[in-house]
A and B are shown apart, each in its own frame.
Chain A
Amino acid sequence: MNTLIAISGLGIFCLFAEIINLRKAIVPVAVLGLIAILGITVSEFDHPSAWYNNMVIVNNFSVAFSSLFIVLTIFILAMSGDFYKDKPSKFSDFIAIKIFLLAGAVAMVSFGNLSMFFLGIEILSISLYILAGSDRLSILSNEAGMKYFLLGSFASGFILFGICLVYGATGYFDVAEIYALSQGAGLPVWFYFGIAMILIGMLFKIAAAPFHFWAPDVYEGSPTLVTATMSTLAKVVAVATLYKLVTSLNANMPHLFQVVIVAIAILTMAVGNLLALRQENVKRMMAFSGISHAGFMLLALLSLTTAAGTLFYYTAAYAFAGIASFAVITSVTKNKATQNVSDFNGLGKTNPVLAAVLTMSLLSMAGIPIFAGFFAKFSLFTQTIEAGYLVAVIAGVISSIISIGYYFKLILAMYNKDADAETTSFPWVYTVVAVLAIALNIGMGIYPGCMFDLLK
């Protein structure tokens, strides 16, 4: 709860800093403030508490994921300083919206009441609609914002209807009360319709097939830094919230539900990886890669009681690799009109550090050992086999192998082709963020145990 209040206060401060002429100080203050908030959050670990009639519940799950979100936001804010350099008049808005987005994210993983869940998801989504359309003179960004807005509010409508039916069936918004009631028999049939509609809405938000079609367009059209936010922060938030929601609403899921989850996960992995193979635009390729990773993360829903640690490890590994790769992509495509694979030709010679970081982050996403992505997939597959769904693991392994195909397309372009344009300068801040993020990823790969055991 202190985290939530502190984050909102920091966001309001960023808006006021514009008025009192502190524009230059916004990014350093925001980053330092978030580091302090990270300290507050971590100190709440192992001190579970409930606030305001169970509106907000702080437990180890919410503390661990909130810390991950704060670290990701620190990376994104650090890059914002350079990214929005030529738009000084709106600078504080971009920073403040990103901080409010973080507040929504924290509310989403620490809700104890469905109204808090709904407010959190709307704060996150509305901030993202604004950010997606924030480059208002570019028709591509406008189109991305419009598509994201239409499909996002469509999905919000489904979530709201689901919450309403659950309320109608039980008479409560408090998830603990709903959980207690859902254990007994005799609930009206609307309850299950309500759960199904909330799930459909959440699958829209995490871009799982067959609700994934908006993601590639939105990711391609948005400004690159916003694409980085969506593909790392927003996706991780949505997956963690879905996990928390399913755990807190019905822990003893019917078998049919698990079969549906397995089918959606297999379809998502296959669609994401197969369509990524024929993409030339890097942002679009990363969008499909994110879709396939959402499929992997859905497998955590099959072993609800034990998978929290694995899900945390997987999302952290994916998000750090994503931040590292997007820092490189932002840096390379900064002054270019396109973001094609050919724009990366010869990067291995012109900037070996960035090329090495991008290679490592792609290898982590593909699941090559040493990097955290391998241990994440390994433990996820182990748990899925223990839950008894071997077929999902086989599909997961096959789609991991397919994914190496398009990741290597980018790696080969960097090292085997010659640069066709003159080299531009690469601002140092992107390099620092990329190196730090990939270092965290490798660190997680070397000591996987300490993160798996956090959420036992």
Chain B
Amino acid sequence: MENILNHIGIENYIFLSVILFCIGVFGVLYRRNAIIVFMSIEIMLNAVNLLFVAFSTYHQDAEGQVFVFFSMAVAAAEVAVGLAILVAIFRNIGSIDIANLKNLKG
């Protein structure tokens, strides 16, 4: 089977993943709505998953694709915990704006 990476080049996959990862990073740093922050974290993790699959094809090695399953499972567990904490916050202060979380400082 002809390898599609010969036409596209692994560099382009790296650039795409870095761009997606940076979108995620800036989303976490600049958005104030907790749901959008969670989505940004998911974008970061999925950018990495994309790159894992690309590298897996590049090396002709299945290990990278197996790792993606691990990282998807971990991301799902992580976001479940995050949403649970968010529900607790919403019950206490009635808002999901993380700018309202300013009780701890000094």
Q: Which A residues fall within an 8 A CB radius of B?
A: 115, 118-119, 122, 125-126, 129-130, 133, 136-137, 139-140, 142-147, 149-150, 153-154, 156-157, 160-161, 163-165, 167-168, 171-173, 190, 216-217, 220-221, 279-281, 284
Contacts and interface: CB of A to CB of B under 8 A. Distances in A.
Interface string B73-89: 01001100110111011
Which 9 A-B pairs have CB atoms at the shortest separation, nearest pair first?
A: A157-B44, A168-B55, A217-B104, A171-B59, A136-B88, A143-B101, A133-B85, A145-B85, A122-B74
Which of A125, A130, A146, A221 has most B Cβ within 10 Å? A146
Contact of A146 (B24, B48, B64, B101): B101
Given A142-B89, A146-B85, A164-B51, A156 B78 contact: yes
Contacts of B17: 164
Contacts of A126: 74, 77-78, 81
Contact of A122 (B52, B63, B78, B98): B78
B28 interface: yes
Nearest to A150: B37
A444 to B, nearest CB: 34
Interface size class of B (residues with CB under 8 A): 35 or more
Given A157-B45, A160-B45, 15 more contacts: A119-B70, A129-B85, A133-B88, A140-B104, A143-B89, A146-B98, A149-B78, A149-B82, A149-B85, A161-B21, A161-B51, A164-B48, A168-B58, A173-B67, A216-B104
Nearest to A125: B78
Which of A133, A163, A216, A220 has most B Cβ within 10 Å? A133
9 contacts: A115-B70, A119-B74, A130-B84, A137-B92, A146-B89, A147-B101, A157-B24, A164-B17, A168-B59
Contact of B88 (A142, A147, A154): A142
A192 to B, nearest CB: 14
A374 to B, nearest CB: 31
Q: Which applies to chain A's interface (DSSP): helix, strand, loop or mixed?
A: helix
Contacts, number: 124
Nearest to B70: A115
Interface of B: 10, 14, 17, 21, 24-25, 28, 34, 37, 41, 44-45, 47-48, 51-52, 55, 58-59, 61, 63-64, 66-67, 70-71, 74, 77-78, 81-82, 84-86, 88-89, 92-93, 98, 101, 103-106
B81 A130 contact: yes
B98 to A, nearest CB: 7
Which of B14, B58, B66, B93 has most A Cβ within 10 Å? B14
A157 B78 contact: no
Contacts of B21: 157, 161
B52 to A, nearest CB: 5
Nearest to A149: B82
A118 B55 contact: no
Contacts of A164: 17, 48, 51-52, 55
Nearest to B98: A146
A125 B77 CA distance: 11
Given A153-B82, A157-B45, A171-B61, A284 B88 contact: no
Contacts of A144: 104
Which of B77, B85, B93, B103 has most A Cβ within 10 Å? B85
Contacts of A147: 101, 104
Given A168-B51, A168-B55, A281-B106, A146 B34 contact: yes
Contacts of B14: 168, 190
